[in-house]
Amino acid sequence: MADDPVRDGVRDRGATTIADRVVAKIAAQAAREGLDAVPQGGSKPHASVVVHREIAHVSVSLDLDYPSDVGRQCGAVRNRVRTRVEQLVGLEVHEVTVHVEHLHSAHTRHATPRGRLA
């Protein structure tokens, strides 16, 4: 059997593996990009990722302003995370779960200890 230079070149290139924590950082950044804004006093989104056989399952936790269209914002985050992870990492994203940790209201942000607005 003769050597095939094309196949030998492919075999020599190897494979690139991207750690789950790196994919999670990309997903968290994409979630920030998908939000209208991080609420004043809120935390930046964070993500966890499980990758199995080139398929990613992403979980994003974030804070949102209230009142706002929570469903629209979660949908925008879900779409942005899926798109960016697929574009930048090349993984297929089967699931993006969004957990809203806190809702931040401008009314409660400026409340005095007795519950009156400042």
Other beta carbons within 10 angstroms of residue 30's beta carbon come to 24
Model pTM?
A: 0.78
* Residue-wise pLDDT tens digits, 45-54: 999 999 999 9
Lookup: tokens for 48: 């966890």
Check residues 26 and 41 and name the one with the higher pLDDT: 26
Residue 60 confidence (pLDDT): 98
Q: Where are the alpha helices (DSSP H) in 51-115?
A: 70-89, 106-109
Residue identified by tokens 């196949």 is 7
Domains in the chain, please, with CATH? 16-109 (3.30.300.20)
Residue 10 confidence (pLDDT): 56
